[in-house]
Amino acid sequence: MKILDAHRRMVIRSDGDGTESPLLTEETNPADSPHSPNSKHNHSRPYINPHGSSHSHQHGKSEAPTKYGELVILGYNGFLPPGDRGRRRSKFVLYRRPVANGVKRSKHYVVKTPHNSQAVLNVKQHSISYTLSRTQAVIVEYTEDDSTDMFQIGRSSEPPIDFVVMDTYPATESGPGNENRMAQSTISRFACRILTDRSNSAITRIYAAGFDSSRNIFLGEKATKWQENREIDGLTTNGILIMHPRGQFCGGEAQCGSWREISVGGGVFSLRESRSAQQKGNVVEDEDNVLKDGTLIDLCGATLLWRSAEGLSKSPTKDDLEELVDAINAGRPQCPVGLNTLVIPRKAVTDSAQQQPYVYLKCGHVQGYHDWGQEKDKATRRCPMCLCAGPIVKLCMGIEPAFYVDRGPPTYAFNPCGHMATEKTVKYWEKVAIPHGTNGYIAICPFCAVPLEGSPGYVKLIFQDNVD
């Protein structure tokens, strides 16, 4: 396991340049995407279109909706193991809503019992109650905001959650991640909310906690909260952490930044002593909660990658990646022992065990499955090409495009899982520290969430091209 030091100082500003991103038409059909939890309520609100274009549905022609970006769960290579279903999927595409459903902070006041207060009882009124003591709570009311779209993420399958995210368990040799461990989940049912400016998707902000079906957020007596300049704010139990990359994610020159905690009100704080400690961290003045291309969001149990629509337009598509696999296969790579042609599968399940290539993780030589060099009572093998002994693993293409930092041939693979990607992509992820347990960090393969092993945690692939 590779332990990384994540306590590096960084200064990041969002690059809100106001440019509209080109539309991407592949991927999820917007009709698939979960509808607004507030759609009923929204219908009574005026439709506001800052671009002044006419509403497509009225004219019967289908105009592609504006894509804001994607949230992709680390550890899935394009889909959840049982397959994407409804609001449970490996990634969630954020599209501009037909009608704005954002909310913004309005008035706040002190009450004795929040559960009896008008704002909490009114299921049409968004509110956050901060319980200070048994006899005192502060209620912050939220009003409709026609300039933003809201998207909510959490473990709950209740309607207000747009993207249902369960804890990620790394896939193993014996099968994909085990899903039967819900009882131990550390992800909040209403973990966080994201608000995108409808006229400038570069301004996409994240906040801890999401509104429940009654449009309330409750911070109980034990939750960390504070009041400054008459504004009240707080943290959720396990918190929402974000990490903005230092530099541009696209291009592969970015480095892992510092992890920060985001408050319910959207403030940025240094990390607590441990994940759920009572004492909040310090305010980080020069950073904000605006997501930038490549920002990681840690929900404590699953980590999401934010890719802006603009950033994704520079990344390879799934078709591009499949073409790259085809290009390597067209070179008819050969097993130096079996002398058979190897075929890299696009998916984990291969059609032909005989053609499945394996990588020798110490040296990078790619071969078929054979017993040559197998050491007695050991899982390791001696490579027939260079006589270096070490573990071997099936090669498999990293096919989720969002994890790529550049375009190019997949000439490297992660150790120990064998997921292939570009050189810059493996080198980027090898240096990214992902929160693990209560206060540790590890580097993982973004395609399967397996902790990387070795130093470095990847290997350059060496194919034996079939020369005849």
Cβ 338 to Zn ion shortest distance, Å: 15
Q: Which is nearer to Zn ion, 139 or 383 (CB)?
A: 383
Q: Which is nearer to Zn ion, 168 or 238 (CB)?
A: 168
Contact positions toward Zn ion, by CB under 5 A?
Answer: 360, 363, 365, 383, 385-386, 414, 417, 419, 445, 447-448
Q: Hey, how many other C-beta atoms are within 10 angstroms of the C-beta on 388? A: 15
Closest distance to Zn ion from the beta carbon of 410 (Å):
12
Q: Return the number of the residue (114 or 364) whose C-beta is nearest Zn ion.
A: 364
Name the residue nearer to Zn ion (CB basis): 226 or 372. Answer: 372
Between 166 and 383, whose beta carbon lies closer to Zn ion? 383
Closest distance of CB 364 from Zn ion, Å: 7
In whole angstroms, how close is the CB of 411 to Zn ion at the nearest point? 16
Shortest distance (Å) from residue 448 CB to Zn ion: 3
> Rounded to the nearest whole angstrom, what is the least distance from the CB of residue 454 to Zn ion in the complex?
13
CB of 349: closest distance to Zn ion in angstroms? 15
* Closer residue to Zn ion (CB): 142 or 429: 429
Closer residue to Zn ion (CB): 30 or 338: 338
